[in-house]
Amino acid sequence: MLGTLRKMLTELQAPVKYQLPLGEQLIELNPFIGKKIKLSYTGNIACVHCQRAINKSFNQGFCYPCFISLAQCDMCIMKPEACHYAAGTCREPSWGEAFCFQPHYVYLANSSGVKVGITRHTQVPTRWIDQGAVQALPIFKVQSRYLSGLVEVIIAEHISDKTSWQKMLKNGQDDVDLIAKRDELVMLVQERLKALKKQFGEQAIEFLLAQQVIDIHYPVDQYPSKIKSFNFDKNPVVEGVLHGIKGQYLLLDTGVINIRKFTGYEVAFSV
pLDDT bucket at 90, cuts 50 / 70 / 90: confident
Pair (150, 236) in one structural domain: no
Helices (H) and strands (E) in the chain, counts: 7, 15
| The pLDDT value given to residue 96 | 84
Pair (135, 224) in one structural domain: no
Residue 86 has pLDDT above 70, yes or no: yes
Q: Residue 63: inside a domain, yes or no?
A: no
Q: Residue 65: inside a domain, yes or no?
A: no
In contact, 138 and 124? CB cutoff 8 Å = yes
Task: Determine which of 38-47, 49-58, 81-90 has the lowest per-residue pLDDT on average.
Answer: 81-90
Pair (165, 113) in one structural domain: yes
In contact, 67 and 56? CB cutoff 8 Å = no
- Residue 40: domain span: 2-57+218-270
Q: Buried b vs exposed e over 94-107: b needs ≥16 C-beta within 10 Å?
A: eebeeebeeebbbb
**Global pTM value:** 0.93
Residue 239 to residue 20: CA distance in whole angstroms: 16
| The pLDDT value given to residue 204 | 95
Q: What is the largest CA-CA distance in the chain?
A: 58
| The pLDDT value given to residue 138 | 98
Which of the two residues, 20 and 85, has the higher pLDDT score?
20
Pair (92, 13) in one structural domain: no
Pair (78, 136) in one structural domain: no
Pair (151, 211) in one structural domain: yes
Residue 264 has pLDDT above 70, yes or no: yes
Residue 220 to residue 15: CA distance in whole angstroms: 9
Considering its fold, how many domains does the chain have in total?
Answer: 3
Pair (95, 148) in one structural domain: no
The per-residue pLDDT for range 111-138, each reduced to its tens digit, is: 989 999 999 999 999 999 999 999 999 9
Which of the two residues, 237 and 83, has the higher pLDDT score?
237
For the segment 94-114, the average pLDDT, to the nearest whole number, is: 92
Q: Residue 62: inside a domain, yes or no?
A: no
Q: Residue 64: inside a domain, yes or no?
A: no
| The pLDDT value given to residue 172 | 66
The per-residue pLDDT for range 143-189, each reduced to its tens digit, is: 999 999 999 999 999 999 999 999 999 876 788 999 999 999 999 99
Q: Residue 140: inside a domain, yes or no?
A: yes
% of the chain exceeding 70 in pLDDT: 100
Pair (107, 189) in one structural domain: yes
Contacts of 135 (CB under 8 A, 6+ apart): 109, 110, 173, 175, 176, 178, 213, 214, 215, 216
Mean pLDDT of the chain: 94
